[in-house]
Amino acid sequence: MNIGIDKIGFAAPSYVLDLADLALARQIDPNKFKIGLLQSEMAVAPITQDIVTLGAQAAAAILSEDDKAAIDMVIVGTESSIDQSKAAAVFIHQLLDIQPFARSIEIKEACYGATAGLSLAKSHIAQFPNSKVLVIASDIAKYGIASGGEPTQGAGAVAMLVSAEPRIMVLNNDNVCQTRDIMDFWRPNYDKYPRVDGKFSTEQYTDCLTTTFDYYVKQTGKSLADFAAMCLHIPFSKQGLKGLQAICQNDEKTLSRLTERFHEAIVYNQVVGNIYTGSIFLSLLSLLENSQTLKAGDSVLFYSYGSGAVCEIFSGTLVEGYHKQLVENRLDQLKERKRLSVAEYEAIFFEEIALDEAGNAIDLPADDCPFALQQVDQHKRIYRKN
Ligand code: COA
């Protein structure tokens, strides 16, 4: 039985910051962001948007009523959780009216969480072929004003419907993982923003990739010649490109072929920024919707990396007619986002929900996105469907 991605959807907040404006405000050469990091814009989430609203919006864009009746598991991968106990998936399950007899959970391991969710979904469908699993990667990346990671921030969610006989991509059974106990990026419970050893994290990203790929080659007998494209975790686009260069080593022909596809695979990431656990799947969406070269039967190699660190290399093969499940004008939709000034972005960055003594907040700003945080009632977050 073939199992894989049947549908894929995406949601970003409606605000965007141009990194040229940020560079000017921080007195940095704009080319450091544009050429040095290969990033041009970043999505900014207002206080009424969080991993629940973004995740629900990404999923609502792809689900039919039949899907909602068949889904019996909702998995949210995230590292920007809104609650230490209750899973974001439970809120999303309710907001989307998914049939009640379902399992809803949240998975955390930095930017790797949703990849673990995808593997869990695959195993579940192998056991229960008639069911469908909704896997959502939803995150808001905030490093801090004027921090090293600031130009790589972003926000958004990718939703994938996993089923038997999928219409986009069959997931192959060739997954290889590596776990390495390191402190390259982490966020203690008492911190608002992550602690990052930036340079170390970039080195670990690449070393985990090359060592895991060597093991993948030994385990599967496959090589880069088997793949038409590669999608990597994209904390910022230049990091992905460096990863690709590292595994291609001195094979210039393969590097040039895969680099062409890589540039198609970062079109959305470059204008959204880092969405942590969703960034590899945003890259997949970008590849599928922007490549004129890919065709059914082509295989894509994936490298998922979550600091801390866990990584996974796996692959998928495109199904006949996959392009019918995609959106043609997504970049135009992204161009409709409201461009913020740096002062507006900074104001949103520091905005916090002001709770009264009883844990209520009722005067939240208006938000006409499909899903929004409406109020907090005795410390309970209440969401609105618009
Ligand atoms: N024009 C063109 N390129 C420029 C430039 C300019 N004026 N100024 C700098 N650059 C280039 C640098 O040469 C460098 O490119 P290279 O790595 O290919 O040599 C790139 O821009 C970044 O410059 P650098 O000085 O390394 O940036 P930084 O010290 O501000 O921090 C990170 C970069 C990645 C460490 C920082 O963004 C960060 O901490 N990010 C968060 C952690 C992360 O995403 N980790 C990834 C693994 S998960």
- Torsion on CA atoms 30, 31, 35, 41, rounded to nearest 10: 10
Nearest protein CA to atom 3 of ligand 1, as residue: 36
- The verdict on whether 233 is a catalytic residue reads yes
Partner residues linked to 159 by β-bridges: 9, 136
As its CATH architecture, domain 171-322 has 3-Layer(aba) Sandwich (3.40)
Nearest protein CA to atom 46 of ligand 1, as residue: 202
Residue 108 marked as a ligand binder: no
Which among 150, 208, 233, 248 is annotated as catalytic? 233
Among the four given CATH numbers 3.40.50.740, 3.30.70.260, 3.40.47.10, 3.40.50.1820, the one describing domain 3-168+327-385 = 3.40.47.10
- The verdict on whether 124 is a catalytic residue reads no
Which helix H or strand E contains 314, and what residues bound it? strand 310-318
* Pocket mutation for ligand 1, best pick of 27, 32, 193, 275 (most atoms within 8 Å of C-beta): 32
User: How far, in Å, is the centroid of ligand 1 from the Cα of 355?
Assistant: 38
Q: Measured between alpha carbons, how far is 131 from 116 in angstroms, rounded to an integer?
A: 18
User: How far, in Å, is the centroid of ligand 1 from the Cα of 51?
Assistant: 27
What residues are in contact with ligand 1 under a 6 Å CB criterion?
A: 29, 31-32, 35-37, 148-149, 152, 196, 198-199, 201-202, 205, 235-236, 238-239, 307
Nearest protein CA to atom 13 of ligand 1, as residue: 36
* Pocket mutation for ligand 1, best pick of 34, 37, 196 (most atoms within 8 Å of C-beta): 37
Task: In the chain, count H helices and then E strands.
Answer: 13, 17
Among the atoms of ligand 1, which is closest to the Cα of residue 274?
A: 44
Structural domain boundaries of the chain?
Answer: 3-168+327-385, 171-322
DSSP 89-104: HHHHHHHTT--SS-EE
Nearest protein CA to atom 5 of ligand 1, as residue: 32
Q: What is the pTM of this model?
A: 0.98
Contact 154, 141 (CB under 8 A): yes
Spell out the residues 6+ positions from residue 46 whose beta carbon is closer than 8 angstroms to its own. Answer: 13, 15, 348, 351, 365, 367
User: Do 3-168+327-385 and 171-322 agree at the fold level?
Assistant: yes
User: How far, in Å, is the centroid of ligand 1 from the Cα of 36?
Assistant: 6
Give CA angle at 327 (78, 8), nearest 5°: 30
- The verdict on whether 79 is a catalytic residue reads yes
Nearest protein CA to atom 44 of ligand 1, as residue: 235
Residue 274 marked as a ligand binder: yes
Please state whether 375 falls in left (phi above 0), alpha (psi between -120 and 50) or beta: beta
Which among 93, 111, 177, 264 is annotated as catalytic? 111
C-alpha distance from residue 141 to each of 157, 181, 221, 380 (Å): 11, 22, 37, 23
User: How far, in Å, is the centroid of ligand 1 from the Cα of 27?
Assistant: 15
Per-residue pLDDT of the chain (386 residues; tens, 9 = 90+): 999 999 999 999 999 999 999 999 999 999 999 999 999 999 999 999 999 999 999 999 999 999 999 999 999 999 999 999 999 999 999 999 999 999 999 999 999 999 999 999 999 999 999 999 999 999 999 999 999 999 999 999 999 999 999 999 999 999 999 999 999 999 999 999 999 999 999 999 999 999 999 999 999 999 999 999 999 999 999 999 999 999 999 899 999 999 999 999 999 999 999 999 999 999 999 999 999 999 999 999 999 999 999 999 999 999 999 999 999 999 999 999 999 999 999 999 999 999 999 999 998 999 999 999 999 999 999 999 98
Give the three-class secondary structure for 27.
coil
Residue 242 marked as a ligand binder: yes
